[in-house]
Every structure is written in C-alpha cells, then in structure tokens.
Chains A and B, each alone.
Chain A
Amino acid sequence: MKLSADNLSHIADEYVLGLLSEAEAAEVENEIERNSALANAVAEARERFLPLDTNIDPAAVSPDLWDSIATRLPEQATAAEPSIASVSPRVPMAGNDNARTGWRATAISAVAASLMLAVGLVWSMARVAEPLVVAVLLNEAGEVQAVVEDFGNDTASIRLLTDFNVPADRTMQVWTLPSREMGPMSLGLLEDAHSARLSGSTLPKPQDAQLYEITLEQAGGSPTGRPTGPILAKGFAKLAR
C-alpha cells in the first residue's frame, strides 16, 4: 500500500469501511500519528458514514454489562493496551512523561538483559526442556508462517517456516500478550529473519490461548516498546500435553 496525495482519501475510506487488510490498517493507524492529511481524511470518512450506525435501533443491553466493564477498568495512569492487533503508538498523557521514560528504560534494560542471557543460553540449552505452550502463527491468508514454543523459563523458540522478505532497515520482532493489563510484551528480535531462540523476557508463565505475534519493526526493534509495524503472522498458543 503506497500512500500518496492522490489515493489518501480513498485509503481513508477503505480504512473506515474495514476493507483494508490487517497489515494495511495497522500501517494507516501508525501513519495517522504523523500525517495530519490522512488523519483528517479518516475523520471525514468516519463522519460521512456515521449516520448508518447512529440511526440503528438500540439493543436491549444486558443489565450486568456496565458492571463487567466497571470492574475491569484500570487506573488511568497505568492504562494498558487491550490487544496487540489494535495497538498504536502510545501518546503520553500530559504530566505522564516520566512514566514513558520509565518504560523506555525498562525496554532498554530488557534488551540488555536479553543480550546477556543469550550468552548464557549456550549453557541452558544443555538442559532438555519441554515447551509449556506451542503457538502456530499464520499470516492473513491463513498460511502457516512460524511456530513458537514458549518454555516458560524466559526462553521461547521461534521456528520460521517460510522465507520472509525483510528490508535492510527493518527487523522482525516477536510479541506476546500475557494479559490485557500488561499489554503486548516483546520476546525479542529475529535478526536476519532467521529462526531463533529468544531469551531473557521475564514474563508470566504462558497460558493456553495466549496471543503470539511477529511484526515488522524498524531496525533495532520497535521504538515504543509496543508493536507499531504491520503484522506478519499471529496465532494463539495451545498447552503442550
């Protein structure tokens, strides 16, 4: 998808109509942050079609719907992304800048820790381990792209089952969503688009149906610590048994 002044309105329309692929929609959501012409085109398209939604007869809502929302609301300062797929770069709240710096520091130290632990991996590989969960990652067309085995001991193995075409200035990054509260967490980068064992992410024990995902990020990994690029493959884990 190439954005230009010519097709901007059309892409905005197709985005609002839900006609873009997941990767293209993610691209639009990223681009919107810095491209005000696109942001305006999307806003206009939304307003154009909105009456088709607002003129609908209201449904009778379950009496406990509000309660189930209210009990799940996080405190505002620690608001988490609800899912990887819908993630967009986080804009810090006013007066919350230090929280973001903390986030960065965490991300940087996590990268440093993962490098250190990669060295220790040679040692830990000697121990035979069984994965706790296995996730088969599919692309948008439903084709198998990769398999993730998460050992739950800070180590996950990612086996690529197809060739990925990764531009020189990009890198593949592996993510998982341990919980809505934590939001998407990076498992690490796949250098040179090769299978790898990633280590050092101290995350909760992987669960059944946990989401795993590979995105295309700028070289060195996502600058925000959250997925920002198009999704190459994703899938839900199954408990190994």
Chain B
Amino acid sequence: MSAAKTAEMEYSQLREYSGREDSLTLVTDQSTDFEAALAACAKGDRSGLRDIFDAEAGRLVAVAQRILKRRELAEEVVQEAFIRIWTHAHQYRPERGSARGWIYAIVRNRALNMLRDGSREDLVAEDRLETMQDGEQLEQIMAAWHRLDHNSRLKECLGRLDEARRRGILMAYVGGYTHGEIAGRLRLPLGTAKSWIRRGLLTLRECMA
C-alpha cells in the first residue's frame, strides 16, 4: 500500500489526475504503460519511446545530474540511455522486474560509467572530494531518503540502520560514490566501510523481505 501511495503521488504529478480511479488502478495502469511503451519500441514504433520520454525524462535527467553534478553531462547520459532503451527494448523481460526499474537502471548505469570513466577530466576523484566538502551533494543525497513517502518501507528500514551504514548505502546509490570515496568521506578504513555497507545491505534486505 505504501508503494501504491508513492506511485499515486507520482502519477498525479505526471499527468492530469482525474481523481476518479483508485490508486491500485493507477499503479496497474502506470506499469502497463511502460511495458507497453517498451513493447512498442521493440517493434520500431517511436511513439513508445516518446511516451517514456514525456513521462520520465525530467526525473531521469535529475537522477543523472545528482550523480554527475552537471546538467549537460546528465542530458548527454539521458540521450545515450534513450538510444539504448530503443535498441534494447526487445531484451526487457517483465518477469525480471518492472519496466520502469529497467529504464532507470539503464540511465543509472550510463551515468556511473561516465562518472568512473577516467577520460572525463572534469570528473576525477580529486574534484569530487573538493566538491563533497561543501556538503551540498551530501545534503541532496540524504534528502532522497527524507523525501521518501512516510509510509514507505524503504524509508522505515533505512531509518533503522546506524547513521554511518545508512549514509554509506545512500552515498553509493544516490550519489554514485565508490567504496573508497565512501570510506574517505566517512573517515573509515576501506575494509571497515565495505563491511559496514555489507551488513547494512543485509539488514535492509531482511527488513524489507
């Protein structure tokens, strides 16, 4: 039900919300939309890709920008990601998770690849460390957790973790930080940071199971 609530909120931001259907219908409709849109892409119908773009491009750019920090790089990532969505739509399998999650994963992977790609001089680790010091990005990272719907299971389970474990997990997922960067930021030895994250993830899986 918490998931339904979240999806409903998003849906109402997404389009004119008539308010007549109940939230479950909306959830179903929404997931069907993305699946159908991917199926259309696989058949070579560009309107499928356009539907995904209209519904999600703003959020996808924001997600990529949260990782890469720069708008023009984020748009470059989203542009490449939509081409990959188009060329790989036929590989999407509904039994392997939601279409929306598949779409976000493509954008995330491309953003992380760009971030880790040593050829981008503007994104080397030293720069990131300096920028991190202003704490702005960290604030943004923690905000992703605070913003979760208060009924959200993820919010509750993250809230039960120790502060450092929660931060480590959020820095990785939301900000695209590596183990090394997380260890540096939390002032922990690398091995300790890795094992804290490992245990945090285990606790999270058990809590959300």
Contacts and interface: CB of A to CB of B under 8 A. Distances in A.
Interface of A: 9-10, 13-14, 16-19, 22, 39-40, 42-44, 46-62, 65-66, 68-70, 72-76, 79-83, 85-86, 91, 93-94, 138, 142, 180, 209, 236
B90 A91 contact: yes
B83 A72 contact: yes
A42 to B, nearest CB: 8
A53 B84 contact: no
B174 interface: yes
Contacts, number: 164
Contacts of A66: 50, 53, 57
Given A10-B201, A69-B79, A76-B42, A55 B87 contact: no
Q: Which 10 A-B pairs have CB atoms at the shortest separation, nearest pair first?
A: A58-B58, A43-B97, A79-B87, A76-B44, A17-B172, A59-B62, A59-B61, A46-B101, A13-B201, A18-B112
A183 to B, nearest CB: 10
Nearest to A62: B75
A58 B96 CA distance: 26
A236 to B, nearest CB: 5
Contacts of A56: 59, 62-63, 66, 144, 147
5 contacts: A46-B102, A54-B104, A59-B59, A70-B46, A85-B117
A86 B80 CA distance: 12
In this complex, the interface size class of chain B, counting residues with CB under 8 Å from chain A, is 35 or more
By DSSP majority rule, is chain B's interface helix, strand, loop, or mixed? helix
A55 B6 contact: yes
Interface in B156-184: 169-170, 172-174, 176, 178-179
A134 to B, nearest CB: 15
A14 B201 contact: yes
Given A54-B10, A56-B66, A43 B101 contact: yes
Contacts of B33: none
Contacts of B144: 52-53, 55-56
Interface string B177-209: 011000000000000000001100110110010
Contacts of B205: 9, 13, 48
Given A50-B100, A65-B75, A69-B53, 16 more contacts: A13-B205, A14-B201, A18-B173, A42-B96, A43-B96, A47-B97, A49-B154, A52-B170, A53-B144, A65-B57, A65-B79, A69-B49, A73-B49, A76-B44, A82-B83, A83-B80
